[in-house]
Amino acid sequence: MATGTSLPHCSVVASHIFQHKWQKELSEFTSITDIDDPCNGLLLYKPVEWAFDRAKICVEVKSGNRMTFRLLDEDLRKTLLADKACRLRDERGGGNNRTKEEENLLMTFGDLDKQPLKFPEGTVMRPSKRLLGLHAVAARKAAQVREPLRRIEEVAYDTSDDETTKNAITILQWRKEVALGGPVSVSHRPFGNAILTCHL
């Protein structure tokens, strides 16, 4: 959706938008009953999934059904995605060589910033805009705690025409709870601790 490169299955992973660490709040803030619901997933290149899970990147949802990545960690801006993929593979004992598909992939995390998500033609199943909004609110807050001297702009989340819009008002409650240090458990790291830091 973002790199414009066809990547092998071993290089992509299904990432939860509303994350496992928030599972206790699933029924309160969403209308889904299964954390593994397809509308709660994004198929991401592994370094992007790594950043998404750690509040270093999120997805902004703008009017007109436009979705774009937003980089929240400036330290990653010049890091090549393929280089980070190699480091992640190496940490898992899979070697640090680029795959054939990555050889000419020169995109950095900074190149993802404001990059529109392009869904394959004919795709009907899309990620929930509201769930992306919940993730974005929490990710932005965690990023602000991580970099207190840099003002991080609010992230757009247009939930109109979303299948879960009936709960949209609770995004405001979610924002309030995140600001107070919730709704994540202290047992979850590093994202959870980053949010909780502002509460202590």
pLDDT digits (tens, 9 = 90+) for 150-175: 999 999 888 777 765 566 567 878 88
pTM of the shown model: 0.83
Neighbours of 89 (CB within 10 A): 19
Task: Give me the count of residues in the chain.
Answer: 200
**Structural contact between residues 77 and 147, judged by C-beta atoms closer than 8 angstroms:** no
SS3 content of the chain, % helix, strand, coil (to 5): 45, 15, 45
Amino acid at 76: L
DSSP label at residue 10:
G
pLDDT-based confidence at residue 78 (cuts at 50, 70, 90): very high
pLDDT attached to residue 75: 95
- Domain range annotation of the chain: 9-197
What is the rounded average pLDDT of the residues 14-41? 90
- Residue 111, class by beta-carbon neighbours within 10 Å (0-12 exposed, 13-18 middle, 19+ buried)? middle
Q: Which of 99-108, 119-128, 185-194 has the lowest mean pLDDT?
A: 185-194
- Is the pLDDT assigned to residue 50 strictly greater than 90? yes
End-to-end alpha carbon distance in the chain: 38
Phi, psi (rounded to 5 degrees) for 193: -65, -35
Q: What is the spatial distance between Cα 9 and Cα 159, in angstroms, rounded to a whole number? A: 31
How far apart (Å, rounded) are the C-alpha atoms in residues 82 and 2? 13
The pLDDT of residue 142: 92
**3-state class (DSSP) for residue 116:** strand
Q: How far is CA 59 from the centre of its chain?
A: 6
Question: What value does the mean pLDDT take over residues 132-149?
Answer: 92
